[in-house]
Amino acid sequence: MPTKNDAHRLGSKLQDDDAQTIYRHMLLARSISEKSWLLTRQGRVLFTMPCDGQEAADVASAYALDTSGDFIVPYARNLGAMLVKGMTSLEVMLNMFGKSADPNSGGRQMPMHWGYKKLGIISMGSSIGTTLPRASGVALASKLQGQNAVTMVYFGEGAASEGDFHEGLAFAGVHRLPVVFLCNNNGWATSVPVDLQTAEPQISKRAAGYGFPGVTVDGLDPLAVYQTVTKAVNRARSGYGPTLVETKTIRMMPHSSSDDHNRYRSQEELDTEKNSDPLPRFRDRLISAGILDERSNQALSEAVNQEVETAIKEADAAPFPNCLLYTSPSPRDGLLSRMPSSA
């Protein structure tokens, strides 16, 4: 195991221990994502949105926040950010299985639809783009209450084609709100490529129209993302207003478990993205810097996978919510049917 110290061996302002923590969160997000996909194939989980390829952008950006006081307004693919904010593997799996102990909704929301009040994770919905004006509202409320908190809202480049994008950014710019708009641009809005969404593929350029900075960063490089988002967070917390950060990421898996990306993406493109996987890239960088070695990396990977397997087992055995299922009155008896909680 490499010797730990406080040197910045990666050539960044990030401490070595912080770099290892980011890497562990990336590994954990990938393990949960892969196993959740298998659970949907087995019919044990209803739905999932894989985050494979987006871990670096989500984990490193959330790591730039004050996890105890700042707010996150997520969308479904932000699993890595949820883990950094404090959600455990078990809590994620309780959400995936729809169990009553799920802290997001008590098992009543779709899987990967986050909302955890205690952790400052604002409840999301499936409608694309609606999180942006909501985030501006959260930032306004925290500013009026003097909380000195920053709100980070995540969205994909597909959401930037919605009217909510304009409303959220325009309001935040006018009122100089402490909000960071983080666009994960993976080039695909489900099956629609970015060149059919916008004539200008660089989303960050739009920030100028709202009176605040926009910056594009390599979303496969967690250190670059961390440094860029840290500046945006510090700017917001200092009262200078919003920043639009665009992370150029990849989507290595289908949009969701309901999608088949082989119908609209070539194998050549998918192979290229596999070779750009941020996890082995960051692993090799940590090993080259002497922060990890092959043995410690293997031990870490095994520990993460065991943590997720244990979470799956416990969540699968947990009780479902005690709820009623109402149907239309039967022509025969006019009664409402009742579904017991064990059904």
Per-residue model confidence as pLDDT tens digits over 24-71: 999 999 999 999 999 999 999 999 999 999 999 999 999 999 989 999
Q: Measured between alpha carbons, how far is 191 from 260 in angstroms, rounded to an integer?
A: 9
| Collapsed DSSP state (helix, strand, coil) of residue 185 | strand
Tell me the C-alpha distance between 50 and 53, whole Å: 9
What's the token pair of residue 109?
């929301």
**What is the pTM for the complete model shown?**
0.91
Find, among 105, 102, 98, the residue nearest to 88 by Cα. Answer: 102
Q: Which helix (H) or strand (E) holds 243?
A: strand 243-248
| Catalytic (active-site) positions | 251, 255, 264
Domain positions in the chain are: 50-85+99-276
- The DSSP symbol for 187 reads S
Q: Are 58 and 50 in contact (CB under 8 A)?
A: no
Q: Which SS3 state, helix, strand or coil, does residue 170 take?
A: helix
d(CA 134, CA 6): 39
Residue type, position 33, single letter = S
Answer CATH for 50-85+99-276 from 2.40.50.140, 3.40.50.970, 3.90.1300.10, 3.30.300.20? 3.40.50.970
Q: Cα–Cα distance between 33 and 24 in angstroms, integer?
A: 14
User: Residue 4 is encoded by which pair of tokens?
Assistant: 């730990």
CA–CA distance, 212 with 242 (Å, rounded to integer): 6
> How far, in whole angstroms, is CA 70 from its chain's centroid?
15
Per-residue pLDDT of the chain (343 residues; tens, 9 = 90+): 343 344 455 656 688 999 999 999 999 999 999 999 999 999 999 999 999 999 999 999 999 999 899 999 999 999 999 999 999 999 999 999 999 999 999 999 999 999 999 999 999 888 899 999 999 999 999 999 999 999 999 999 999 999 999 999 999 999 999 999 999 999 999 999 999 999 998 999 999 999 999 999 999 999 999 999 999 999 999 999 999 999 999 999 999 999 999 999 999 999 999 999 999 999 999 999 999 999 999 999 999 999 999 999 999 999 999 875 544 444 434 433 433 444 3
Write out pLDDT tens, residues 75-92: 999 999 999 999 999 999
- How far apart CA 96 and CA 262 sit, in angstroms, is 25
Half-sphere exposure of 175 (CA within 13 A, CB side): 19
Q: Which two tokens stand for residue 269?
A: 């493109």
β-strand pairing of 188-189 with 192-193? antiparallel
